[in-house]
Structure 1
Amino acid sequence: MQVQFDNTPSADNRSLLNNANASLRRALHCQELFWAQKARVKWLTDGDKNTAFYHAVAGKATLINAVLNSIPVYTVATVSIPKSVISYVEKVCANFFWSGTDGVHRKHWVSWDTIHHPISKGGLHIKSLWHTQLALASKQIWNIYHGSSLWASYARVRFRVDGGFPFKNYIPHGMSRLVFWAAHSNVINNSRWIIGDGRSVDFLKDVWIGQCCLQDLLNGPYTGPPITVREVVLNPHHPVRRLLPAASLLQDLHLLNQEDRCVWTASSEGSFTTSSAYRTFSVNGVKRPHLKRLWHPAYYKRAAIFCWRLLYRAIPVDSRISEHGIAIVSKCSCCSTPSVEDLNHLFIHNELATSLWQWAAVLLNIHLSNHDNITCRLWYTICHSNPSTPRGFFSLYSVMLILWEIWKARCSQRFEGKNYSIRRITHNIRFMIHMSLDATTFKVSPQDQHMKILNSIGFFPKVRDISFKLIRWIPPIRGMVLNVDGASKGNPGSCGGGGCIRDSKGNLLLAFAHSYGYGSSLVAETRALCDGIRLAIEYGFTLLEIRSDSAILVASIANNKPPAYWKPMNLTAWFVVVKLFGMNLVERSLAIKALSWAPSCWPFWYGNKLT
């Protein structure tokens, strides 16, 4: 084409030349993508023999989450992958995770299902491809039921969602029945309706009151057509009323002049997220929050994952290898006299371990457990050390590094014939602790005694300066003012809120503090505001001002977009002024007490009324 255009530079030849160049660039781009993808898979299969990150188990876990598990995500979001294919992919991931530097498959000391668990449940939080597929299918079904896009409107007509018989004859294209019904059941079980005008809520089949649908609680079978909440509420003689378990069930139910709203109960905000849907499927395992302490950002990741393996006794010492049917002659590499190597002997009783534990107990003044079992000793240290304080950070990290250095010394002696001296090992431990402390700023200042001990051995942890700000409560010019506040231990976590009502002279007229169970700080702020207004109405106080320190809550009300727990209460009519005001000391103490007391007799918002 280039020669033809040079000989005859016409418009047609120029067009043909441009098309040929475009096709060539497109082909080169496809070739580049192909080789890049192939190189990535080849690298994951064979590995870079000179890359230490590749050899580390912690690095492999990151690669599996970032690369291997992310490659098929787009595919599982569009079509269902068979379980056999998912099993094969997870088998490849497991072989890669446990393989050695030579690529030879090694024993899988911890099951892959356990590794899928979150860190707080003893896993490594490597995502399960099967649960990811179910979570993405749940997202698609949720959008069909409650989405507002043009595609969602078409899908509701296509699958007869609005006709009362959803998905009776058809399911979404590309989704297997096994995946569809598992995801569909998850969406139904984690959905709850907040009543507005009652037009969109099925009276019997939807969950809008209590913990289950009313169809399961009726005194007899109902054979009539589908009915909405609005039809039953507005018709006091409806036949279904005679089948209700209690005649007073609908006594306090009032319809509002707004649309019904379906909330996702698996998230504290009430909105659907793929991550919350994933958590509803991965519910196995016992929750042990202390395990999170192993994975402090400043800790050496190899030492952390080694201690994680030690908790599962997944260390290939001679005794553990013999337990799996491989007969070998056992000899401890860290002892001058012949001894059988097992976990407790290697990490507690051999000559090297004994010297290191004595050094840690005397020089570093670490309180150690007296357990003869190394797993119990490590778990005791994890439970009794708080890494958020310099003392706890130092204690836990020292034990982790001691265990890691013992294992390194054992492997060097056995496979390379190198001996590590006590002085070299203690120097490495002190250096690692010093580097981690330099990169960490603590919020809590240690006791003077602990700080002196750390300073005497050359460690100077950095503690964030605490500044105090005095806030003066300004009384209103006239009338009464409601001050509210909420707080949560974690976000989300155990939450509570409170407030007080004062007059223009500063006299305290009413104060309250409530516990709201599990939720976010915004939930606590909103529900404390609802409680304060309802109590003001109940006691006949006329509020001229309401003050809150939550910028999100104030902005949501100002923009007429209240949060999920605020909208059903329809309390915006009582607002005259909403001011953003700093939290005073009385409100702070009430919120903190609500978290610690939490008696069951306090009011609790449930559904559409205060019980």
Structure 2
Amino acid sequence: MVPHISQPLYLFPHFWRKCHVYLWHDPWFGDGPLSGIIDSGQLTSVRVEYYLVNGQWDRNKLAEDIPFEWIDRICSVPISGASGDSPIWRASSDGQFSLTSAWALIRQQHTPTPLLRIFWGSCLTPTISIFLWRLLLQRLPVDTKLQSRGTSLASRCYCCPDPSFHVSSLVSQSVDSPSIESIDDIFVESPTAKRTGIPHVADSLGLYYRVRTPSLTTHRVVWLPSDPGWVKLNTDGARRASTQIAAIGRIIRGSDAEAILAFHERISAPSCIAAELAALASDLRFVIQRQFTRVWIELDAEVIVRLLSHTDQGHWSLQSSLTVIWNSLSTLEYRITHINREGNTVADALANLGC
């Protein structure tokens, strides 16, 4: 457990035949362990599987130990037998543990500095980034800095054994006298800096930007109908950050490309990905109600395709929606593919119409 962090791990119980998740003390419930919300009494070692019958919540058993007002919320957690118990790392977007996400939890974060973003940007080489960083911290080994640290520079100026001797007093005595190299002299006071400005000085010092030209590739996007005996489902979810309104859009077509149903609906979703998952879950419920058994699902959200193909584990807050979808898919013969937004224009327009 990461110190100073409250419950960074989320346990999502899946495989009920070998369920090792404790009901009261493991963080399988969205709001944290039940022991921190409800008085558990003496039931500290009971497992989740005790309250399940045939893969579903047993309300009668829950009513024996759980306050009535909490039973509906517990029963809303979907049950799946598709895989084993899954630990989900709450601090990362993909649910996987990483040292980067753990460090982000315990580090003391400060307000980001725009200048440092420029210094460490991808357009600069590491050598130049380190140089600018040292310049900002006044760690460049110029004459004045070395003299302030007690380093003798007799070969540069025999008139100035005292490190506190200021360059301006030397220059005022004689224009031809040797000056002491300083950061101000390089970037502000030097004739080159005054004549040409900082950009030219940077160029004369070898500072340059590495410009990356993006390569553009043309792809042909074509929508194709399903095979005979199949239906094709194009779905999309949308959410406007300005109004916090989310909506879903769907269109189901037969193998002859004729529309069977087109529909849009407003929903409650905290993010665009959550809206996409809610759209698919709702669409699959409709497909099952209409007794379609073969469905080709096409999405323009590539991240959803990766989640459903188990390539990515997904954020812990999406696990309930994913389980509902997997439960629905287990009753169907299906295929899931990605298509660019240009090929999903109808579902996209329906979702935006709902927003």
- What TM-score does the superposition give when structure 1 sets the normalisation length? 0.39
Q: Which residues of structure 2 form unaligned runs of 5+?
A: 52-56, 151-161, 239-245
**CA–CA distance in structure 2, aligned partners of residues 337 and 513 of structure 1:** 79
Aligned residue in 2 for 1:534:
282
Matching residue within 5, 18, 23 for 1:203? 23
**Stretches of structure 1 lacking an aligned partner (at least 5 in a row):** 1-182, 361-398, 406-424, 444-463, 488-495, 519-523, 603-611
Letter in 2 for 1:193: L
Indicate whether 1:547 and 2:298 are aligned: yes
Asked if 1:192 corresponds to 2:6, the answer is no
Shift of 1:510: 2.8
Task: Report deviation, 1:442.
Answer: 0.9
5 Å-filtered alignment, 1:18-417, equals: 183=1, 185=3, 189-196=7-14, 197=16, 199-218=19-38, 220=39, 222-232=41-51, 234=58, 235-239=61-65, 241-242=66-67, 246=70, 248-258=72-82, 259-288=84-113, 291-296=116-121, 299-315=124-140, 328-331=164-167, 346-357=186-197, 399=199, 402-403=201-202
After superposition, the Cα gap between the structure-2 partners of 1:237 and 1:583, relative to the gap in structure 1 and judged at 3 Å, is: same
Matches of 2:69 and 2:191 in 1, distance apart? 73
- Closer/same/farther in 2, CA of residues 270 and 578 from structure 1, 3 Å limit: same
Query: Structure 1 residues 533, 211: CA separation in 2 closer, same or farther (over 3 Å shift)?
Result: closer
Structure-2 change in CA distance of 1:252 and 1:269 (3 Å): same
Q: What amino acid is aligned across from residue 296 of structure 2 in structure 1?
A: E
Residue in structure 1 matched with residue 157 of structure 2 by the alignment:
none
SS at match of 1:202: coil
CA distance change for structure 1 residues 554 and 251 in 2, over 3 Å: closer, same or farther? Answer: closer
Question: Residue type of the partner of 1:204?
Answer: W
Q: 2: distance between equivalents of 1:591 and 1:537?
A: 20
The question of whether the paired residues in 2 share the 8 Å contact of 1:192 and 1:262 is answered with yes
SS of the residue 1:238 aligns to? helix
Q: Percent of aligned pairs with the same residue?
A: 16
Q: Which has the higher contact order (CA 8 A, sep 6+)?
A: 2
1:192 deviates by 0.2
1:481 maps onto 2:236 in alignment: no
Asked whether the equivalents of residues 8 and 89 of structure 2 are also in contact (C-alpha less than 8 Å), the reply is yes
Tell me if the contact between 1:217 and 1:245 (Cα under 8 Å) persists in the aligned partners: no
Paired AA for residue 402 in structure 1:
V
Following superposition, the deviation at residue 288 of structure 1 comes to 4.7
Cα distance between partner residues in 1 of 2:111 and 2:337: 42
Name the residue aligned to 2:159. none
C-alpha spacing 1:301/1:254, structure 2 compared with 1 (3 Å): closer
CA distance in 2, matches of 1:500, 1:281: 43
The residue identity in structure 2 corresponding to 1:328 is S
- The reply on whether 1:572 has 2:322 as its aligned counterpart is no
Equivalents in 2 of 1:312, 1:202: separation in Å? 53
Q: Aligned letter for 1:356?
A: T
CA–CA distance in structure 1, aligned partners of residues 322 and 278 of structure 2: 10
Is the 2:299–2:344 Cα contact (8 Å) retained in structure 1?
A: no
Structure 2 residue aligned with 1:471? 221
Instruction: Count how many residue pairs are aligned between Structure 1 and Structure 2.
Output: 307
Kindly state the Cα deviation for residue 590 of structure 1 after the two structures are TM-superposed. 7.8
Change (3 A) 1:467 1:210: closer
Please give the per-residue CA displacement for 1:140-183, whole angstroms capped at 9, x wherever unaligned.
xxxxxxxxxxxxxxxxxxxxxxxxxxxxxxxxxxxxxxxxxxx5
Which residue identity lines up with residue 33 of structure 2 in the other structure? C
For the Cα contact (< 8 Å) 1:546–1:575, is it kept in 2?
A: no
CA gap 1:246/1:584 in 2 versus in 1, 3 angstroms: closer
* Alignment check: 8 A CA contact 2:277 2:322 kept: no
| Deviation of the 1:229 alpha carbon | 2.8
Query: In angstroms, what is the RMSD of aligned CA positions?
Result: 5.2
Amino acid aligned to 1:207:
P
Helix, strand or coil: the match of 1:532?
A: helix
Matched, 1:509 2:262: yes
> Partners in 2 of 1:322 and 1:561 — Cα distance?
59
Q: Deviations over 1:278-315 (max 9, x none)?
A: 44444533345773443455634333212122333444
Give distance in 1, aligned partners of 2:113 and 2:258: 47
Residues 548 and 578, structure 1, Cα contact 8 Å, conserved in 2: no
| Deviation (angstroms), 1:328 | 1.2
Q: CA deviation at 1:546?
A: 1.2
Relative to total residues, which structure has the larger helix share, 1 or 2? 1
Residues 89-142 of structure 1: per-residue CA shift (max 9 Å, x gap): xxxxxxxxxxxxxxxxxxxxxxxxxxxxxxxxxxxxxxxxxxxxxxxxxxxxxx
Conserved? CA contact 2:251–2:346, under 8 Å: no
Q: Secondary structure at the match of 2:330?
A: helix
* Cα 1:187/1:263, change in 2 over 3 Å: farther
Q: Hey, what's the Cα distance between the residues in 1 that align with 2:143 and 2:10? A: 55
CA distance in 1, matches of 2:306, 2:138: 53
Aligned residues of 1:193 and 1:201 also touching (Cα < 8 A): yes
- 8 Å contact kept, 1:195–1:260: yes
Deviation at residue 272 of structure 1 after TM alignment: 2.8
1:562 & 1:322 partners in 2: Cα distance?
57
Q: Please give the alpha-carbon distance, in whole angstroms, between the structure 1 residues aligned to 2:114 and 2:106.
A: 20
Q: 1:309/1:479 Cα in 2 relative to 1: closer, same or farther (>3 Å)?
A: same
